[in-house]
């Protein structure tokens, strides 16, 4: 079957022991059944400090999955002091689990073709996106259903619109809700809703809406605290989470509002200097996650909500980190690290996304006002 992929895909190289946030640490590394059976027959490499009888003994069961049991430092037991994989050194790539072999690659198999992308959970992928002004995605698909047409129109809007990314997302969500309300969707409807005239009208209407940034901050602080609960409990990503969560708590308990508003204004200037990278990040999310195999328009709306939630969690984490670091410049490495960490924390399967949203919100499909609340970038700041 035909496989398609974005232009950056073949440029990826794992930086291995040079990696600033290795995927062999603080993560649930799943072990597929075939690898598990193979591991039952393999003895651990001699270099491992606490040898067990076979490799399968280094795994545990967690929620129907077999995963590698991390050591006390929350690292993969096969990672050596030089940050190299001892399984690769001893047995080569063939002893790795599927997850380790393919990460950070992702593939979605549709009836008509397969789509390959990369996940933002790897710093080397973010480095690639940071080096490119704009990412290029395949435009012609074997499958030309209205859902693929909608995804193409959304990708075109996010890559070409001359407005802040938050406003692009607000327009996209509005159009998706309208299309959903007026199903069945036709090509003519898609052309009309994504035409320059409609996009401009929507932009003008959105600019008229007052979206107080302090309300946004309160809600986003709650979102980031909710997303972090389980990771805190398990002691994961603490060096990234602790500074921002303690500040989020302080802000909830009372913080000088004018200070916060001015700090946001300064932060947003810094944050906007990473617009190209963030546009590439969102474009990739839209290409890879907006339309999953067997999805319908409702699923696309849910995925749009999740993408927006991830974006606001990244933005809010960076705001809090920027304040806790003294409100000076925002470094590329900080932006990269929080994109990676938040992506690892929110990289849920589709069913888990549904479950999270159902448990956390009154309605599975948000109203546009809530979407706008979490995405506001403070257009009340003059």
Q: Helix (H, G, I), strand (E, B), or coil: what is residue 196? A: helix
Asked if 274 contacts 164 with a C-beta cutoff of 8 angstroms, the reply is: no
| 102 vs 381, beta carbon nearer ligand SF4 | 102
Asked if 334 contacts 321 with a C-beta cutoff of 8 angstroms, the reply is: yes
How many degrees, rounded to 5, is the angle at CA 235 between CA 230 and CA 240?
Answer: 90
| 103 vs 366, beta carbon nearer ligand SF4 | 103
CB of 141 to ligand SF4, least distance (A): 28
| 305 vs 346, beta carbon nearer ligand SF4 | 346
CB of 82 to ligand SF4, least distance (A): 12
Q: Which one-letter DSSP state was computed for residue 116?
A: E
Q: Which residue has the tokens 């927006």?
A: 308
Count of residues in contact with ligand SF4, rule CB under 6 A: 11
Q: Does 23 bind ligand SF4 (CB under 6 A)?
A: yes
Q: Does 22 bind ligand SF4 (CB under 6 A)?
A: yes
Considering only 17-25, 87-95, 226-234, 266-274, which stretch makes contact with ligand SF4 by CB under 6 A? Answer: 17-25
Angstrom distance (rounded) from CA 279 to CA 248: 26
Q: Residue with the closest Cβ to ligand SF4?
A: 19
Q: Does 84 bind ligand SF4 (CB under 6 A)?
A: no
Question: According to the 3-state scheme, what is the secondary structure of 16-64?
Answer: HHHCCCCCCECCCCECCHHHHHHHHCCCCCCCCCCCCCCHHHHEEEECC
Q: For residues 121-140, which are near ligand SF4 according to CB under 6 A?
A: 122-124
CA 123 to chain centre: 12
Q: Which one-letter DSSP state was computed for residue 236?
A: -
Q: Does 15 bind ligand SF4 (CB under 6 A)?
A: yes
Asked if 167 contacts 203 with a C-beta cutoff of 8 angstroms, the reply is: yes
Strand ranges in the chain using DSSP code E only, listed in sequence order = 3-4, 59-62, 65-68, 105-109, 114-118
Q: For residues 103-122, which are near ligand SF4 according to CB under 6 A?
A: 103-104, 122
How many degrees, rounded to 5, is the angle at CA 153 between CA 128 and CA 371?
Answer: 85
Question: Dihedrals φ, ψ of 4, to 5°?
Answer: -125, 155
Q: Does 45 bind ligand SF4 (CB under 6 A)?
A: no
| 15 vs 360, beta carbon nearer ligand SF4 | 15
| 19 vs 260, beta carbon nearer ligand SF4 | 19
CB of 144 to ligand SF4, least distance (A): 34
Note if the bond before 104 is cis, omega within 30 degrees.
yes
CB of 67 to ligand SF4, least distance (A): 16
Classify residue 19 as left (phi > 0), alpha (psi -120 to 50) or beta: beta
CB of 335 to ligand SF4, least distance (A): 16
CB of 346 to ligand SF4, least distance (A): 16
Considering only 19-27, 141-149, 238-246, 324-332, which stretch makes contact with ligand SF4 by CB under 6 A? Answer: 19-27
Q: Does 98 bind ligand SF4 (CB under 6 A)?
A: no
Q: Does 14 bind ligand SF4 (CB under 6 A)?
A: yes
Q: Does 88 bind ligand SF4 (CB under 6 A)?
A: no
Q: Which of 87, 369, 344 minimizes the C-alpha distance to 212? A: 369
CB of 342 to ligand SF4, least distance (A): 15
| 16 vs 146, beta carbon nearer ligand SF4 | 16
Which helix (H) or strand (E) covers residue 8, if one does? Answer: none
CB of 121 to ligand SF4, least distance (A): 7
Angstrom distance (rounded) from CA 152 to CA 147: 9
CB of 75 to ligand SF4, least distance (A): 12
Asked if 356 contacts 275 with a C-beta cutoff of 8 angstroms, the reply is: no
Q: Does 25 bind ligand SF4 (CB under 6 A)?
A: no
Residues near ligand SF4, by CB under 6 A: 14-16, 19, 22-23, 103-104, 122-124
């Amino acid at each position: 079957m035909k496989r398609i992929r974005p232009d950056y895909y073949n440029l990826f190289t794992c930086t291995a022991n040079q990696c600033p946030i290795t995927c062999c640490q603080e993560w649930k590394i799943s072990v597929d059944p075939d690898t598990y059976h193979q591991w039952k027959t393999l003895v651990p490499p001699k270099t491992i400090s606490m040898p067990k009888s076979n490799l399968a003994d280094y795994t545990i069961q967690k929620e129907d999955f077999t995963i590698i049991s991390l050591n006390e430092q929350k690292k993969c037991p096969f990672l050596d002091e030089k940050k190299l994989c001892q399984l690769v050194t001893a047995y080569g790539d063939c002893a790795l689990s599927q997850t380790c072999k393919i990460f950070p690659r992702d593939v979605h198999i549709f009836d008509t073709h397969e789509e390959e992308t990369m996940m933002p959970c790897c710093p080397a992928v973010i480095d690639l996106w940071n080096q490119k002004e704009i990412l290029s995605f395949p435009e012609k698909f074997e499958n030309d259903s209205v859902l693929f047409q909608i995804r193409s129109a959304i990708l075109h809007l996010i890559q070409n619109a001359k407005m802040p990314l938050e406003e692009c997302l607000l327009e996209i969500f509005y159009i998706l809700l309208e299309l959903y309300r007026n199903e069945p969707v036709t090509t003519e409807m898609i052309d009309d809703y994504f035409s320059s005239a409609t996009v401009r009208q929507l932009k003008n209407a959105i600019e008229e809406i007052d979206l107080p940034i302090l309300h946004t901050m309160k809600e986003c602080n709650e979102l980031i605290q909710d997303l972090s609960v389980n990771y805190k409990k398990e002691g994961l990503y603490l060096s990234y989470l602790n500074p921002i969560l303690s500040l989020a708590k302080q802000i909830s308990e009372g913080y000088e509002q004018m200070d916060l508003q001015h700090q946001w204004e300064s932060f947003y200037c810094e944050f906007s200097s990473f617009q190209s990278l963030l546009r590439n990040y969102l474009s990739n999310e839209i290409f890879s996650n907006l339309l999953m195999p067997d999805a319908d328009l409702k699923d696309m709306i849910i995925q749009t909500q999740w993408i927006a939630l991830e974006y606001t969690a990244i933005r809010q984490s960076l705001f809090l980190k920027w304040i806790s670091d003294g409100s000076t410049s925002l470094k590329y490495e900080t932006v990269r690290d929080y994109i990676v960490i938040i992506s690892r924390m929110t990289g849920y399967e589709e069913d888990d996304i549904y479950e999270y949203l159902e448990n956390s919100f009154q309605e599975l499909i948000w109203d546009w006002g809530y979407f706008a609340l979490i995405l506001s970038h403070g257009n009340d700041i003059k």
